[in-house]
Amino acid sequence: MELEAIPGVGAKTAASLRELDDPVATVESGDVAAIARAPGVNEARAARIARGAIRRRHGDDGRVLATDRARELYREAIDLLRERTVTDYAAKRLETFYPSASASRIAEAQSFAAAAADRDPDPAVREALADCAPLSDPPTVRVRDRCLATADAETLARAEAEVPELSVETVEDARDVSELGRSYASVIVLDESFAGLDVEGDVSVRPDALEAPAETVPERLLAFFAENRDRLEAAAAVHEAAAAAGDPVSGGGPPVALDRLRDALSRLDDDGTIAGDAELDRLTAAVDDLDAAVSTAASVADDRLREAIRERDVTIEGTDFLSLVEQGARVDSLLDRELADEYDAAVDAAREHLADALRLEPEEAELAERVFGGDPSFPVDHDESAVSRLRTELSAARDRRAAKLKADLASDLGDLRQPVEELVRDALELDVELAVARFARDFDCTLPEVVEPAGDDGGEAPPAGFRIEGGRSPLLDVDFPDVEPVDYGVSGATLLSGVNSGGKTSTLDLVALVVVLAQMGMPVPAESATVERFEEIHYYAKSQGTLDAGAFEATLRDFGDLVDGADGRLVLVDELESITEPGASAKIIAGILEALDDQDATAVFVSHLAREIRAAADFEVAVDGIEAAGLVDGELRVNRSPKKGHLARSTPELIVEKLADDRGGEFYGDLLEKF
């Protein structure tokens, strides 16, 4: 699949996507988090790319949501689902579900929703999800004690592109490599022509080094795990909580042994360095503390000598000491002549302190002995070259130990790289599934039956339309348990009549919501529902007052385009008569219904002009009614489910009827007869 062929993906976005390891597979997977790891692609953009890839895979090029109000209903449906997510990822991932005209896409989404609805949204799992987030790529780690070397220009360019963490040096012969060996702690030569090279330093010839980045630059893998430690631990907690709740994330268990993952992470510090190794900690501390330890050791020796001199001040005869001074004896001579044993003891104390403070091993302690022990002096002096030698040896031992531990840990983590991607993705996808499950439970949903449009096989059957049993809209401004259920079904062009505030608009909203959710592949808030697979959904909300001439003409153009369009449409219109004079409105609506009837479209027009429209139409217009039971204490009592083939009475008629019953009299009786 060409990336540019995905709707909404241009050349610039395609170039960013190609930075991913397997861009085509990643995009086709619909994994929003993985797509969002492309440079410059955020999660919202990734969701649109994933949705475009889904459309292309199913050949779904149409636009089901054909009007602003239809698109508003979709946003409200998505918001109901998004409100039940925990992670930002799941909220964005739900954007990949959209009302589709593709049978294969609807079936695919329904399969996902059916499995999701069976999930148990356990509170402990939701709590664990709170810390879950997509994995991120750490900044490039610069490793300065190691380099790559090559004599080939193409290999140089490839190495610089594939291993930005290391310097890549150009060499021509063994002398160049030898010089690098003195400058870097480790040198990896990429050219096989240097095989058998024998030079000083840690120099290896590895022509396959670029194919094994975990060995060549283990810091890359360690930085990834260090960067994502919290995310990995959160994902592991989600898997454990789900398993404890009896609803594991996946049937086969986590894709990685969680104890093994945690053990590996415990060996890694937050900055990507090795943690928890006593020997490495000892060597690191020895290098860091060397200067301070030398200074303290010298002070120990000075204190010993100072105490010895004080004691000798008491015991040496003044004439002897004066004679030494008159002879021009230096302090070191005095120490050598008079305090030789005490000086040796002070030096031994300094050496012992240095070895103890740095916790030196015996062979290291031998090097430390050379730091003290030169010509006698006070204060006691140390050999800086010996300190430098000791530092070099300790640093080399530290680096060797760190390199080995990094290589070992990278080897352990190497085969976990892909499984931990799955671990986190599965945890995040669980949040998507649990949002669907909560939606289904909160609104007593069922998975609808989405049927093919009647007549697709060339027959003359009427449109399938929709049928809703026990539907309750979660969009109403009342608590959902208090919403009255509605039964309603339509096949063909139909007028919906009823009293003011009887629920006609709410019924249209319910129908639109059920159809939108059904074609998203989601559960619908009803006891049962059957929905035709519509190519387009046209929902026209009630106009706010009479339109001026220009707006009226534009509205008629919209309906002209509507009736000239393709088959397989659902048309919902709320009180179109409000756009102009009632007489003209009735004729216009009658004409629109005639055209829709000719196309076997499914249409519901809410109108107070049902009688006038039927009179103006040249076919038998179906009329349904939301029947009012009457007025009780000034409040309207309504049967919310439309009654088929029934022209509902208007609110004024009900009021006149009530007055005629309550007060009697010829006036109210005559008025009632006019209805």
Note whether residue 221 is domain-resident.
Answer: no
Q: Which residue has the tokens 């609808």?
A: 448
Decide: 545 and 111 in contact? Cβ < 8 Å. Answer: no
pLDDT at 328 over 80: no
Query: How far is Cα 278 from Cα 674, in angstroms, rounded to an integer?
Result: 100
On whether 505 is known to bind a ligand per the annotation, the reply is yes
Query: Which range has the worst mean pLDDT, 28-42, 65-79, 317-331, 414-428?
Result: 317-331
Decide: 623 and 610 in contact? Cβ < 8 Å. Answer: yes
**Which residues sit opposite 489 in a β-bridge?**
467
Query: Which range has the worst mean pLDDT, 227-231, 393-397, 540-544?
Result: 540-544
pLDDT score, position 598: 87
Query: How far is Cα 196 from Cα 210, in angstroms, rounded to an integer?
Result: 20
- Domain range for 283 is 278-398
pLDDT score, position 10: 85
Strand-strand pairing, 528-532 and 466-471: antiparallel
The residue that leads in pLDDT, 86 or 663, is 86
Q: Does residue 389 sit in the same domain as residue 481?
A: no
Q: Does residue 387 sit in the same domain as residue 481?
A: no
On whether 40 is known to bind a ligand per the annotation, the reply is no
Q: Does residue 585 sit in the same domain as residue 659?
A: yes
On whether 664 is known to bind a ligand per the annotation, the reply is no
Q: Does residue 385 sit in the same domain as residue 516?
A: no
Note whether residue 153 is domain-resident.
Answer: no
What's the per-residue H, E or C state across 109-151? HHHHHHHHHCCCCCHHHHHHHCCCCCCCCCCCCCCCCEEEEEC
Q: Does residue 48 sit in the same domain as residue 93?
A: yes
pLDDT score, position 581: 73
Other C-beta atoms within 10 Å of 546: how many? 13
pLDDT at 495 over 90: yes
**CA-wise closest residue to 599 among 554, 536, 540:** 536
pLDDT score, position 90: 94
Instruction: Using pLDDT thresholds of 50, 70 and 90, give the confidence band for residue 314.
Output: very low
pLDDT score, position 655: 65
Query: How far is Cα 57 from Cα 29, in angstroms, rounded to an integer?
Result: 11
On whether 276 is known to bind a ligand per the annotation, the reply is no
Q: Does residue 536 sit in the same domain as residue 638?
A: yes
Where is the domain boundary, 398, 416, 448? 398
pLDDT, tens digit, 9 for 90 and up, residues 613-670: 998 988 899 999 988 766 556 566 777 889 998 887 666 666 666 666 666 666 666 6
pLDDT at 160 over 50: yes
Mean pLDDT, the chain, as a whole number?
Answer: 86
Note whether residue 511 is domain-resident.
Answer: yes
Query: Percent of the chain, pLDDT > 70?
Result: 87
pLDDT score, position 241: 95
Q: Does residue 493 sit in the same domain as residue 534?
A: yes
pLDDT at 331 over 70: no
Query: Which range has the worst mean pLDDT, 34-38, 315-319, 553-557?
Result: 315-319
pLDDT, tens digit, 9 for 90 and up, residues 186-213: 999 999 999 988 888 889 999 999 998 8
Note whether residue 458 is domain-resident.
Answer: no
pLDDT score, position 315: 47
**CATH value at residue 591:** 3.40.50.300
Q: Which residue has the tokens 């004409």?
A: 591
pLDDT score, position 320: 54
Instruction: Using pLDDT thresholds of 50, 70 and 90, give the confidence band for residue 317.
Output: low
**How many structural domains comprise the chain?**
3
Decide: 24 and 1 in contact? Cβ < 8 Å. Answer: yes
Note whether residue 178 is domain-resident.
Answer: no
Query: How far is Cα 221 from Cα 498, in angstroms, rounded to an integer?
Result: 68
Note whether residue 292 is domain-resident.
Answer: yes
Structure tokens at 305: 């000598």
Structure tokens at 223: 């930085």
Query: Which range has the worst mean pLDDT, 64-68, 128-132, 394-398, 583-587?
Result: 583-587
Mean pLDDT comparison of 240-249, 340-349, 570-579, 646-655, highest-scoring range = 240-249
pLDDT score, position 565: 66
Note whether residue 241 is domain-resident.
Answer: no
**Which residues sit opposite 467 in a β-bridge?**
489, 530
pLDDT score, position 464: 83
On whether 251 is known to bind a ligand per the annotation, the reply is no
Query: How far is Cα 220 from Cα 205, in angstroms, rounded to an integer?
Result: 21
Note whether residue 75 is domain-resident.
Answer: yes
pLDDT, tens digit, 9 for 90 and up, residues 525-561: 999 999 999 999 999 988 765 555 666 777 778 777 7
**CA-wise closest residue to 12 among 37, 36, 41, 32:** 41
Q: Does residue 362 sit in the same domain as residue 485?
A: no
What DSSP designation does 226 have? H
Which residues contact residue 456 at a Cβ distance below 8 angstroms, ignoring those fewer than 6 apart? none
Q: Does residue 659 sit in the same domain as residue 530?
A: yes
pLDDT score, position 45: 87
Q: Does residue 371 sit in the same domain as residue 505?
A: no
On whether 492 is known to bind a ligand per the annotation, the reply is no
On whether 500 is known to bind a ligand per the annotation, the reply is yes
Give the torsion through C-alpha atoms of 249, 250, 256, 261, to 10 deg. Answer: 10
Mean pLDDT of 312-325: 52
Q: Does residue 431 sit in the same domain as residue 505?
A: no
Q: Does residue 510 sit in the same domain as residue 636?
A: yes
Q: Which residue has the tokens 């009654």?
A: 643
On whether 501 is known to bind a ligand per the annotation, the reply is yes
Mean pLDDT of 355-363: 91
- Is the four-CA dihedral 587, 589, 593, 596 of positive or negative sign? positive
Query: How far is Cα 2 from Cα 99, in angstroms, rounded to an integer?
Result: 25
